[in-house]
Amino acid sequence: MADLIYAGDLSPEQSWQLLNDDVGAELIDVRTDAEFSYVGLPDLTSVNKEPRLICWKLFPSMDVNPNFTAEVDALGCDKDQPLLFLCRSGVRSRAAAHAMTALGYQRCYNIAEGFEGDRDDAKHRGTINGWKIRGLPWTQK
């Protein structure tokens, strides 16, 4: 049987537009609790939403969260509702989109570049691309 393909990658700007345009679109941030606390979160208040915080991997072991799909399922989203997955760089969120597609969710998107984006020449994130660098709303605790 062929692997199920998730709905695709969206740029941070395309993701923001979909969150604005579709009242049912949900942003699911799959980073770790440490990242939520220290790096920042997308600020969706202007579209009357909150990011859903469900870790794909658990800190500090970085093992895949065995309850991830059940936690997303518990949100009560429809199977055809847009689910936009976000992580630091777009790797964990792609895996999350695949996992939820395998459960029958039809519109699972990976937010390419993630929240902090790719590493620069000095191996730092947050300088080249990503949600924050694209000027999209975010907040820090």
pTM for the predicted model, two decimal places? 0.95
- Cα–Cα dist 63/78, whole Å: 28
Q: Evaluate whether residue 141 is within a structural domain.
A: no
106, part of any domain? yes
The residue segments making up the domain with residue 15 are 8-135
DSSP 124: -
Q: Is residue 81 part of a domain?
A: yes
Number of folded domains that form the chain? 1
pLDDT tens for 13-66 read: 999 999 999 999 999 999 999 999 999 999 999 999 999 999 999 999 999 999
Q: Percentage of the chain with pLDDT > 90?
A: 96
Other Cβ atoms closer than 10 A to 62: 11
Confidence of residue 96 (pLDDT cuts 50, 70, 90): very high
- Which pLDDT does position 4 carry in this prediction? 64
Domain for residue 18, yes or no? yes
Evaluate whether residue 3 is within a structural domain.
no
Q: What is the dihedral of CA 6, 97, 76, 58, to 10 degrees?
A: 170
Q: Would you say residue 42 lies in a domain?
A: yes
Is residue 140 in some structural domain? no
